Structure 1
Amino acid sequence: MKKILVLIILVLLGACVGSNKSSAQQNPRERVSIDFDWKFSLGDIENASQEQFNDADWRHLDVPHDWSIEGEYNENNPAGIAGAYLPTGIGWYRKNIEIENLEKDDKYFVEFDGVYMNSDVYINGNHLGKRPYGYISFSYDLTPYLKEGTNKLAVRVDNSKSPSGRWYTGSGIYRHVWLTKTSTIYIPQWGTAITTSNISDSSADIKINGDIKNDAKKDQVVDVISIIYDATNIAIDSTKSTVQINKDGSFEQSITVNNPKLWSPDSPNMYNLKTKLLVNGILIDTYTTPFGIRSIELNIDKGFLLNGEPIKFKGLSNHHDAGPVGAAVPDDLLYSRLKLLKDMGCNALRTTHNPFSPEFYALCDTLGIMVMDEAFDGWFTKKAEYDYGIYFKEWWKRDLKDFVKRDRNHPSVVMWSVGNEVRGFKAEDQKEIVSYLKTIDSSRPVTQGRGHFAPYVDITGFNGHGEQKGVLEKFHKENPDKLIIGTEMTHTLQTRGVYRTKTWYRTKDNPAPWEKPADFKRFESKVYKIPDLTEKEVFPGITKKYQSSYDNSIVRIGVRDDWNRVEALDYYVGNFRWTGFDYLGESFGWPARTANFGIIDLAGFPKDHYYLYQSLWSDKPMVHMLPHWTHPGYEGVEIPVVVYTNCESAELFLNGKSLGEKNITSERQIVWQVPYKSGELKVVAKNNSKPVVEQIYNSAEIGTKVQLKADKVTVKPNKTDVIQIEVAIVDSKNVIVPEGDNFVEFEISGPAKLLGVENGDILDLAPHKVMSRKAFKGKCLLLIQSTDEGGEIEVKASSQGLQESVLSVLSK
């Protein structure tokens, strides 16, 4: 896994870093990370932009960094419900940039992948610019203000006016920062556009459009050589052209690739384009662009076609945060989260509701995950008190252009979204924004979340409204030439390890019949009802702030009914469930940190719905049953045992005795009513009456120890590798105690640092950057990160009355 991740990042960089003259001659462009060794101070500090400012007493840290997640949950924090009650504010960052030899033909740029929000950047006291949008990537030319030796880079980040979003945003330089060096003739950032056409088994046409910048102050004749490399780094074809440029220039080239390996979720084949610029035979720049070869077509009879074949979107909507690390998500952790979704059968993600980090798209390219790339939440009318709507009129064209140019070469990006549930817009607004986007890239369809009432998108996006009975069918009848995609469907809620046997509907969609009879009648006709699993609630007394992990806590339609719709309607090309992971913010109120829509909790632990989706979306044989089988005091009580499987049938056994075999049907689940008796509950899934896969639950006894499981046994001393440690409360036979809620304390020794702790409990307001956590439903998570030193990392976990556990990981 680590080798794959490192390769992805190196490809993303698109350049080799040269430290001596010979390597510079091979590639004059250098791009290096400047994530490490920053100084930080929270608060607005006078003169902090100045070169000679004394920052000796500032905190030393690395970026990506999110100061909000380091704070404490407080009901009075101005971010409120939207920001998960975490602090915001103003912060300053400063860093030394060392330039050893500053040549007259050198150009230096600083590139920020994302700063939230209202960033002002300075070099040696000179103001380089401001970017209000906290999710956009941007760069500045440092060259006019540089000197040999030490240069002072300073960044002011202003997220003081809250809430600035409708969800948790984070605060600070929460993505990577890069220093790029070029000559005075160079391809600018995101300066190439690659499109593919006329694709067949035997060949594919590759069209290359590129920009060239000339800061040499005289006309130049430039030879442009473009070489395509396959995934094994073998050159397969090339082309050459010559252009004459003044200040700016451009080039167009074409290459035909024979026997192309197409990109798809099942076969995410990638290529690299290396574009070299030469003047008088001397190499002056090399720019690398990863890309894939694939075709997209919208066909009203067949749906969304990828490489000529219909494909349904098995998609998830996600926000950008990741539980205990907030918005500052390490690449290693991002990879494991995306891999978890891919293993579930997910083939598509929607970036809700803003651009994500560059690493996200590179990982989706190589993992084989299609992306609906969303630019904005709203437009000219703000949706949160201090959100981007304040700046939209002035900034949207620049931000949209940068967003599209940055992401347009990723084969994973198969669709643009220009907004989500946009308030107060006219059709002319949508027309202007979509038309402008297509001047930059017209190779993909455009949609909009809940944009079905305006005509200028290519594919119609439905959010929650589309979950009601008959809505999609009615729209299709009235608009037979438009395909439909569920930009935000379906909504269900679950709390890991919590079960109720009576069906629950979100209150505003389920008025009581005695309160509003007319509304109740409307509800009855439009909401997909799910039968109760039992007449009387089996698990009473659970706070209503938690939701059931059976598929029976819904807004308007459950997972199974909605996927049946996807498969039945050709014009409904799939959906993006709300959401993949639980995200911070946008809760139902204090003290909840989130609203539990995710199929994976804040700690990264799958809920039961993860396995329901796996049974619907994955071809690899699987079986999963729920609930757990530890219910002391319920002896003899019938408990609904639900099984999800993608096999033909399943047989259930209790303590070795068969309780019967049942076939999977359009209900998408199998249910047994089982009188509780402690012991072993086993399910065996079958195809053609032959066992294929099984799962076993054993009843837990009293918890006796803390168990630690790490996701890796070795890491690199690179200050970036992350170790995810699952902490469980187990009995003497190592069976997890499902209701274990013990308080666990940690000790870390050796070359590693704490990243965060989390348990997935939406009501637990304990801080994340501490060496302890209470378990929730038997588990919690400890995240640690390697330093720049090698050696043995030892983690000890202890809890009063339990046997402690020690785990070792080697950094080498």
Structure 2
Amino acid sequence: MSGFPGPTEQYRRTRRLEEGWRFHQGEADGAADPEFDDDGWQSVEIPHDWSIEGPFDPEHPAGSAGAFLPGGVGWYRRSLPTDVDGGKVYLRFDGVYRDSDVYLGGDHVGNRPNGYTSFNDDVSQAEGGETLAVRVDNTDLPNCRWYSGSGIYRHVHLIETSPLHVVPWGTDVRTPAVTGRRARVDVHTEVANDAEEAAVCTLSTAVYDPSGEVVAETATERRLDAGEKGTFDQELVVTDPELWSPATPERYHVRSVVHRRDPDETGAATGEPVDDYVTPFGIRTVTFSADEGVLLNGDSLTLKGVNLHHSAGALGAAVPERALERRLETLAEMGVNAIRTAHNPPQPELLALCDRMGFLVIDEAFDKWRHEKTEQFFDEWWREDLAAMIRRDRNHPSVIAWSVGNESYDHGDEGMLDDLEMLVEAANDLDPTRPATYGSPAWGDGHEGILENAEAVAERVDLFSGNYMEHHYDELRERGVDIPIVGSECRPFFRGSGDDPLAFVPRNPWFDVAERADVAGQFIWAGFDYLGEAREWPSKGWPTGLIDTCGVPKPPAAFHRSVWSDEPMVEIAAFDPDRERAPARPAWSWPALSAHWTFPDREDSRGFVHVVTFTNAERVTLYQNDETIGVQHLADNPDHMIEWYVPYEPGTLRAVAETDGEVVATHELETAGEPARVDLDPDREAITADGQDLVYVDARIVDDDGVVVPRADHEIEFSVSGAGDLAGIDNGDLASDESYTGSRRSASHGTALAIVQADRESGEVTITADVDELENDEVTVPVRPPE
């Protein structure tokens, strides 16, 4: 944990505007007017996504792309805090989906079409108590290939400082020369003088180490005319730096303090402090090599990554920080070390967590540049949107590359290549320290056309990101592509072959990384199941991720854990042809696997069950009811899938993994009896009373011995009382029509999930699960005051 003492609010105050909002779904003539009567509107807290409340409808204009959920127009209103007292004032919106108009005191202060871009509106004339109104227009559907959500779905910040100040996202911290004993830290700081007269100012810059000690500092003085912006270029040196990496995610901080004195004063050179701006960063070097992949701090590293969309199952697009943290914890347990933010800038909290938890990130700006519903905005806004992402995110040590786009519909055409060149040049200008890339698909006129398009892309980017291009890596190298390569989208099981990226070749794409030194890594599509981009009704989303929308790793995820994680492991899964699954695109699917040992149809016939064990140990011994089924060695199964055919008996199937003759991991599956009760299991012992924190409560239909009944589909009634509220319910089944925001959810494969959000008052929150004809359960979780 960082020991940085934090900024003072004496010269810059930043606060979130979470409470006090009123919301109306639909048009509301005159709603920007401060005198407008909104007494009948709904009270909501921000972040807020109105689409997730549904209902599902196959006739919704968003269709399968938008999870068959509604869009429309929405209005938000609230008053500014009464203690806003002038100076320089900004409203920062981390994300509003989409085409938002912001009004203050009835005056229009800003518009932003792009629903994923963070933006700052200058409202320096604001007075305490003025009415803030935001109109959100998400009517032109579908305008996204996946579920976007609707509304002010990310945080809103009110920032107050002096007219002489560091501009929003105004620091650029670079570490161009790093050794084990010395790191050069270059800090470029943009300061604006928005006062009516010139000012002589001093920028004092200090670097704090992870323990909170000042380890370098400097100061620069210059004169800024009224209305002028100037960049201060400063160089500092940190000795014996603690380098940032996934294994050691050490974070430093730069504190930038602006001091002012009038031009004719003769006092101290530093003058009076007027602004205090803090920038977290990390000291590290990242180099992409065509021969060695990624070098982090001079050491070779392989990207073991997944693609992530921004929504989170039952929570929709309004995703609290704890939900993101839980996702990253699950991925870390699998050995994941990299995230690609498919296909738009993420919420800022994700990058802060990646900095803290040690994930590497490819930060992506756009999907289709000229989608029919976005083309009218692209020409006008692309430069500002790209700059917003890079300026906002450039100091995160986790970010190692910028992606300027993904799978343009006109891939390979002259106009598309011109757009690509334009975007890469802009990204390089905004940040020359990181490579720029583009998600390049295996599209083209036949085999030769695919390779020609890939070559044309490679000529215009710094890093070639191939979507489902593993089977072309050798040909690209033979044709002279000599830049670094990464698999930006890879299927979790099948890979392409020849000129067909959809060919079902059961060779896992991971081996195209593991067997090549010149490929930097891969990003699986997708890490988590997500809403939207569904194949067909009744599916509401993409069901072939490694982890379901409840956050539970699926059995196939064990393969990636076996090749990505150093922690000894073994997991058993059974081929389960009766397993119900939402409609999916077959090329992204694994065979149907289940982690249970309940096959009553095989019991009388003594039928065989096809079983697979995943492990990173040397050998596995499989037992059924303490009788040895057999022993197999990983070296004899280079695809990391050890297959068995087991004559089924009810009871226990146990795998024991050994390395060097010692047991290093075990895994058991037990046969379930009849459903007896529902068991609740919260993922945390306590949560914080901040109105945002979450506890995830698993509900399991179990037999008398506590074994999950895999075919149980009982309806569970959840109720919550005390210092929290039910934020969402889920069961991981994307084909379900049940609401994410109700109180009743059927179990799927024996389980369901309740997500409970803390109130702002401490106490306890009690969660109850009722199931007809079964024994019910109740758990209580403390809700503690913020520290």
In the superposition, the TM-score normalised over structure 1's length comes to: 0.88
Q: Distance in 1 between matches of 2:573 and 2:499?
A: 29
Unpaired runs of 5+ residues, structure 1, are: 19-23, 493-504, 510-522, 529-553
Give 1:79's aligned residue: 62
User: Is 1:407–2:407 an aligned residue pair?
Assistant: no
Q: Does the Cα contact within 8 Å between 1:237 and 1:257 map onto a contact in 2?
A: yes
Q: Does 1:297 align with 2:298?
A: no
What SS class does the counterpart of residue 261 from structure 1 fall into? coil
Q: CA deviation at 1:713?
A: 2.2
Matches within 5 A, 1:610-759: 610-627=557-574, 628-635=596-603, 636-665=606-635, 666-759=638-731
Q: Which residue of 2 aligns with 1:792?
A: 764
Q: Please give the residue correspondences for 1:279-290 in structure 2 after superposition, counting only pairs within 5 Å.
A: 279-280=260-261, 281-290=271-280
Partner amino acid for 1:249?
Answer: G
Superposed CA deviations along residues 334-373 of structure 1, whole A, max 9, x for unmatched, are: 1111111112100101011100001111000111100001
User: Does 1:266 find its partner at 2:256?
Assistant: no
Equivalent in 497, 502, 523 of residue 576 of structure 1: 523
> After superposition, what is the alpha-carbon deviation per residue over 1:206-231, rounded to whole angstroms, capped at 9, x for unaligned?
10111001011222111111111111
Q: Is 1:463 aligned to 2:467, yes or no?
A: yes
Greater CA deviation, 118-127 or 708-717? 708-717
State the Cα distance separating 1:301 from its structure 2 match.
2.2
Question: Hey, what does 1:39 align to over in structure 2?
Answer: 22
For residues 399-438 of structure 1, the aligned pairs below 5 Å read: 399-424=385-410, 425-438=415-428
The corresponding residue for 1:207 is 186
Distance in 1, matches of 2:542 and 2:118, equals 29
Question: Counterpart of 2:490 in 1: which secondary structure?
Answer: coil
Amino acid at match of 1:329: V
**Within 1, Cα distance between the matches of 2:381 and 2:425?**
16
Q: Does 1:475 align with 2:445?
A: no
Q: For the Cα contact (< 8 Å) 1:491–1:555, is it kept in 2?
A: no
Question: 1:455-604 counterparts in 2 under 5 A?
Answer: 455-464=459-468, 466-467=469-470, 469=471, 471-492=472-493, 556-558=504-506, 561-604=508-551
Deviation of 1:101 (Å): 6.1
2:351, 2:719 → 1: CA distance? 36
CA RMSD, aligned part only?
1.7
Counterpart AA for 2:518: Y
Distance 1:298 1:671 in 2: 37
- Give the C-alpha shift of residue 697 in structure 1: 1.4
Deviations 1:130-152 (A, max 9, x none): 000000000111122x23x4110
Pick from 198, 205, 216: which aligns with 1:226? 205
CA contact (8 A) 2:62 2:142 kept: yes
Q: Which residue of 2 aligns with 1:448?
A: 438
2:328 to 333, 338, 362: 338
The alpha carbon displacement at 1:426 in A equals 3.3
Please give the alpha-carbon distance, in whole angstroms, between the structure 2 residues aligned to 1:300 and 1:100: 56
Q: Residue type of the partner of 1:481?
A: D
Contact 2:15–2:158 under 8 Å retained in 1: yes
| Counterpart Cα distance in 1 of 2:81 and 2:354 | 34
Displacement of 1:183 in angstroms is: 0.7
Equivalent residue for 2:577?
Answer: none
Letter in 2 for 1:253: Q
Query: Of the candidates 114, 121, 126, which is equivalent to residue 140 of structure 1?
Result: 121
Distance in 2, Cα, partners of 1:632 & 1:757? 30
What is the deviation of 1:486? Answer: 0.7
CA shift, 1:191, in A, is: 0.1
Alignment correspondent of 2:303: 313
Once residues 369 and 431 of structure 1 are traced to their aligned partners in structure 2, the CA distance between those partners, rounded to angstroms, is 29
State whether structure 2 residue 109 is matched by structure 1 residue 108.
no
Establish whether residue 322 from structure 1 lines up as the match of residue 290 from structure 2: no
For residues 256-313 of structure 1, the C-alpha deviation after alignment (integer angstroms, 9 at most, x for no partner) is 1111111111111110000111113211111100001111222222222111122111
CA contact (8 A) 2:292 2:520 kept: no
| Aligned sequence identity (%) | 37
Distance 2:504 2:403 in 1: 24
Partner SS for 2:423: helix
Name the CA distance, whole Å, in 2 between partners of 1:142 and 1:429.
34
Asked if residue 180 in structure 1 is aligned to residue 159 in structure 2, the reply is yes
Q: 1:474 is matched by which residue type in structure 2?
A: E
Which of the residues 775, 781, 784 maps onto 1:809?
A: 781
TM-score using structure 2 length: 0.90
Task: List runs of 5+ in structure 2 lacking aligned partners.
Answer: 262-270, 442-453, 575-595
SS in 2 for 1:399: helix
Do the aligned partners of 2:408 and 2:416 also contact (CA within 8 Å) in 1? no
SS state at 1:238 partner: strand
- 8 Å contact from structure 1 (residues 40, 91) kept in 2: yes
- Is contact 1:727–1:781 with CA below 8 Å preserved after alignment? yes
Residue 483 of structure 1 deviates from its aligned partner by 2.0
Q: Taking structure 1 as reference, are residues 365 and 557 closer, same or farther at Cα in structure 2, changes over 3 Å only?
A: farther
How many residues are treated as equivalent by the alignment?
A: 730
Contact 1:109 1:181 (C-alpha < 8 Å) held by counterparts: yes
Deviation at 1:249, TM superposition (A): 1.4
